[in-house]
Amino acid sequence: MSVYTKVSDDEMRDLLTHYAIGEFQSLQGIAQGITNSNFFLHTSTGTYVLTVFEALHEHELPFYLQLKQHLSENGVACPAPIAQKSGKLHTQVAGKPACIVSKLTGRDTAFPTEQQCFAVGEMLAKMHLASLSFAQTMPNPRHTEWWTQSCLKLLPHLADDDAQLLQNEIAFLAQNPDDTLPSGIIHADLFKDNVLLDGEKVAGFIDFYYACQGSFVYDIAIAVNDWARHANHTLDGNLQAAFMRGYQSVRPLTVAERDYLPIAHRAGCVRFWVSRLLDYHFPAEGELTFIKDPNAFRDLLLTFR
């Protein structure tokens, strides 16, 4: 149950006086999610989602909330932040940073269909195009420099084969950067559990808290590495092709992007192999980390080499 922060009805009643979304009725904890405390907030005008941030700091919120606002105003399915009467998008609840966003319909899936992969690819392309008119930027905190430094920390903990593979791969990526390819703000973590689906349609992308500047093809590869990945850590060609068809129905890849795609898949594997290895070997004390299998991305990486 991911509700770490207790919020009283009185506090919510007070908070809602700063918003124009009606009177407080009730707050219901959402069981899913790992990092933050999420609630369905029922008011006299409808249901919203309240997120109380357990790790992000208040000064970090405006970028993510303004991004969601920009995307939702530009045809990208994602929660729209609800502004206070003062215009501010974030607030504080129980002394922690918080926000209220619109509630989406739908649920995530562990076993997507081709149609769903097509729809997610299509929406990702819309997000990339919409990101081009977003004026703010955010460096990628988990790219070349991060995985190079993290690798040094991880090496003593890895089996020889894995250590060799990771070092070779990082050296290969350093020689094959993506920094001349079309770029903008990318989601950077568009896994299956970060998309709510309503039947075959995308109800919305959620969890924008790794969004940053990056190449579009890298974002595509991160998503396909999860949406099309079988339990045996290989990609399903049909799901992969459906995702790419959906994406390219909105934004066809350039020749340079198409050529780079296999490398982008390898970069996406390194990114999540490394973060999962760090979670596994260095679980942060007091941090609520649900450890996912690092080898899924090592094994997938081997299929691209």
**Footprint of ligand HSE (CB under 6 A):** 189, 191, 272, 275-276, 292
20-53 burial code (b ≥16 CB/10 A, e <16): ebeebeebebbeebebbbbbebbbeeeebbbbbb
Q: Nearest distance from residue 126's CB to ligand HSE, in Å?
A: 21
Q: Which is nearer to ligand ATP, 40 or 172 (CB)?
A: 40
Map the footprint of ligand ATP across residues 101-160, applying CB under 6 A.
101, 103-104, 108
Number of C-alpha atoms within 13 angstroms, CB side, residue 79? 25
Which one of ligand ATP, ligand HSE, none is in contact with 272 (Cβ closer than 5 to 8 A by kind)? ligand HSE
Which one of ligand ATP, ligand HSE, none is in contact with 191 (Cβ closer than 5 to 8 A by kind)? ligand HSE
Q: Give 40-84 as a 3 state SS string.
A: EEEECCEEEEEEECCCCCHHHHHHHHHHHHHHHHCCCCCCCECCC
Which one of ligand HSE, ligand ATP, none is in contact with 305 (Cβ closer than 5 to 8 A by kind)? none
Q: Nearest distance from residue 258's CB to ligand ATP, in Å?
A: 31
Q: Nearest 5°: CA angle at 293, between 198 and 299?
A: 100
Q: Which is nearer to ligand HSE, 134 or 191 (CB)?
A: 191
Position closest to ligand ATP via CB: 33
In sequence order, which residues have a C-beta less than 8 Å from that of residue 270 and are 6 or more positions away?
147, 166, 169, 170, 173, 297, 301
Binding of ligand ATP at residue 32 (CB under 6 A)? Answer: yes
Q: Provide the mask over 194-233, with x wherever binding to ligand ATP is found by CB under 6 A and - wherever it is not.
A: ------------xx--------------------------
Which one of ligand HSE, ligand ATP, none is in contact with 104 (Cβ closer than 5 to 8 A by kind)? ligand ATP
What gap in Å lies between CA 207 and CA 222, rounded to an integer? 15
What gap in Å lies between CA 80 and CA 249, rounded to an integer? 25
Which one of ligand HSE, ligand ATP, none is in contact with 101 (Cβ closer than 5 to 8 A by kind)? ligand ATP
3-state helix, strand, coil in the chain (%, to 5): 45, 15, 40
- Residues 102 and 49: beta-carbon distance below 8 Å: yes
Q: Of 12, 16, 38, 296, which one interacts with ligand ATP (CB under 6 A)?
A: 38
Q: Nearest distance from residue 56's CB to ligand ATP, in Å?
A: 10
- Residues 166 and 154: beta-carbon distance below 8 Å: yes
- Residues near ligand ATP (CB under 6 A) are 2, 30, 32-36, 38, 49, 51, 79, 101, 103-104, 108, 206-207
